[in-house]
Amino acid sequence: MSNTRTIARNTGWYGLENVISSVVTLFTSIAIARTLGPSKMGYIIYVAWISSVVSSLGGIGIPSTTQKYMAEFIGMGDRGTARYIYFQTLYLQIGMATLATVGLLFWVLGDANAGYKLASALVVLSIWPGMVNSISAQANVATEELSTNLPASVISILVFFVAILATVVLKWGVIGVGASILLTRLVDFFVRLFPTLKRILSWETAHVQPEGLRARMISFSCQSVASMVVAMIVWDRSEFFLLKHLSADIRQVAYYSVAFSMAERLLITSSVFGSASGATIFAQYGRDKSRLPEITASTFRYLALTSIPVHVISASLALPALLLLYGNQYTGAAVVVTLAPLLCMPKAFIGPVQSLLQSAERQSYIIVATVLAGVVDIGIAWYLIPIHGAVGACIGSGAAQVTAVGMMWAVGIYLYKVKLPWLQVAKITLSSILASVTAHYIAIHLRPLWAILCGGTASLIVLFTLFYLMRVLEPEDRARFSILTGMLPKPLAAPANKIVSLLIHPNLAGATPTNV
């Protein structure tokens, strides 16, 4: 199967997983926010963030090593060594997860406020299944079969939906939220683990461990952890800590969380496509390294095509969406919710270049870029938060993301001669800005629901018209998008194919497609 079809197929499966997860998570986050209010929600978000940081730290070094090296040896046709890598990293991760969970549990039981102690403990206990589960998840990614991750994700998110619904109806408060998080991660862990074990146990056991493999894996894992430590400052909302200690208003934590939660829903497409292409980049490293720059550039183009319009248009419709979903008690987040879609956008482009550098074991560049971005983040946020609260935190985060992503792409372009389609990016950006302005001037005159419906519809009409006139889509896009639309139900597939066909200028229809 070609790289194009593999990436498109995995984009479809991972996209389905993320759409279901995002819809349910959005609904549950709204229910929690409305039930707890900004003050109570602010504290439980802070505790959940600390646990998430620990879980993320333990879930990146060893699991990323699992994905990178399993994919490399599967790409070379050596499933025996890939099997060996899976079990070795799984055992090591279990030990790491146990130590992390016990250590943080002791801390939270001694430090948490009395009214939040049990809820905090439940959230901390969810670290163990979350960390161990990441090995199986990354092993499935390494096989380039992202559909195998779908059942566990869908079942666990539906369990979370039911648990949060019960929490809201039965008024279980923060304890119900903590229990819901723990239950969800346990379900995800068990439903994902056993099918993964069954598949990998069916692989051949014979393997010859290549010379230097252990040293390479240890080095890669240590670099991944180091990269993650500094990356948490830029990508994992370290601003929560600064908001908690530099702002006298605990509601600012909730405002920042709500704004970025809404904005990060916009990253679904980039996350999906980035993960699908990342799996192929790692496997391609074992097959043929020479094609990596071509795949990376193509991925960048599709990220620009989908992410820039979504983020720019959403900035105009963010305030009506906030009022509609969260109510007037969150009007204090009006400015930050408008800025967040634009300042989150750089994160959409990190996936392919990060995978490119990791596949070549050049994570030192990622670490340096992220360290400098972290300095930018802390410096700006430290200066602005005492005066501007969540808005200052948002600006600091956005500046850091621009710094980190910009430096990584500069390195990738220089080292691997990646040729990015700057002219097309300019066309997409201009079209998106004009569509966003259209949405804004329509939305300001209407109530929230009608502002979103009418403003969004008008912006799409303007966007697609400009895409057509500027010839943004290319002939080969028809074949690539048809793979995705083929996964849709028939009533939706036909209109989707028609839209794609209409957007391709007739003067380009006869051009010869290429295969990436």
DSSP per-residue string spanning 390-406 = HHHHHHHHHHHHHHHHH
From 420, 418, 402, 477, select the one nearest 304 (Cα to Cα): 420
Residue 226 has pLDDT above 70, yes or no: no
Residue 12 has pLDDT above 50, yes or no: yes
Q: What is the DSSP letter of 513?
A: P
Residue 516 has pLDDT above 50, yes or no: no
pLDDT at 446: 93
The residue with tokens 């051009």 is 511
Spatial contact of 176 and 166, defined as CB atoms under 8 Å apart? yes
Indicate the range of 198-202, 460-464, 509-513 predicted with least confidence.
509-513
Interval 268-277 mean pLDDT: 67
pLDDT at 374: 84
pLDDT at 427: 94
Indicate the residue type of 62: I
Give the pLDDT band of residue 17 (cuts 50, 70, 90).
low
449-467: burial string, b at 16+ Cβ within 10 Å, e else: eebbeebbebbeebbbebb
Tell me the pLDDT tens digit for each residue of 131-153: 898 899 888 888 877 677 778 88
Which range among 238-252, 263-277, 297-311 has the greatest average pLDDT? 297-311
DSSP reduced 3-state for 231: helix
Tell me the pLDDT tens digit for each residue of 325-359: 888 888 888 899 999 999 989 988 988 888 888 87
pLDDT at 342: 93
Instruction: Quote the mean pLDDT of the chain.
Output: 80
d(C-alpha 466, C-alpha 310), whole Å: 15
Give the pLDDT band of residue 39 (cuts 50, 70, 90).
low
Interval 16-32 mean pLDDT: 65
First to last CA, the chain: 12
Spatial contact of 142 and 279, defined as CB atoms under 8 Å apart? yes
Indicate the range of 294-298, 389-393, 493-497, 510-514 predicted with least confidence.
510-514
Spatial contact of 23 and 96, defined as CB atoms under 8 Å apart? no
Spatial contact of 303 and 352, defined as CB atoms under 8 Å apart? yes
Q: Can you list the alpha helix ranges (DSSP code H) found in 202-250?
A: 213-235, 239-246
How many C-beta neighbours within 10 Å does residue 5 have? Answer: 13
Residue 452 has pLDDT above 90, yes or no: yes
Tell me the pLDDT tens digit for each residue of 78-122: 888 889 889 988 988 888 888 888 888 887 777 767 667 888 888
Tell me the pLDDT tens digit for each residue of 383-438: 998 988 889 988 998 998 999 999 999 999 998 888 898 999 999 999 999 999 99
Residue 220 has pLDDT above 70, yes or no: yes
Report the predicted TM-score, pTM, of the whole model to 2 decimal places: 0.63
Residue 29 makes CB contacts below 8 A (sequence gap 6+) with 258, 261
Residue 449 has pLDDT above 90, yes or no: yes
Interval 276-301 mean pLDDT: 75
Residue boundaries of the structural domains of the chain: 1-204
Residue 477 has pLDDT above 80, yes or no: no
Give the pLDDT band of residue 278 (cuts 50, 70, 90).
low
Helix then strand count (H, E) for the chain reads 20, 0
Give the pLDDT band of residue 460 (cuts 50, 70, 90).
very high
Residue 10 has pLDDT above 90, yes or no: no
d(C-alpha 459, C-alpha 434), whole Å: 8
pLDDT at 316: 95
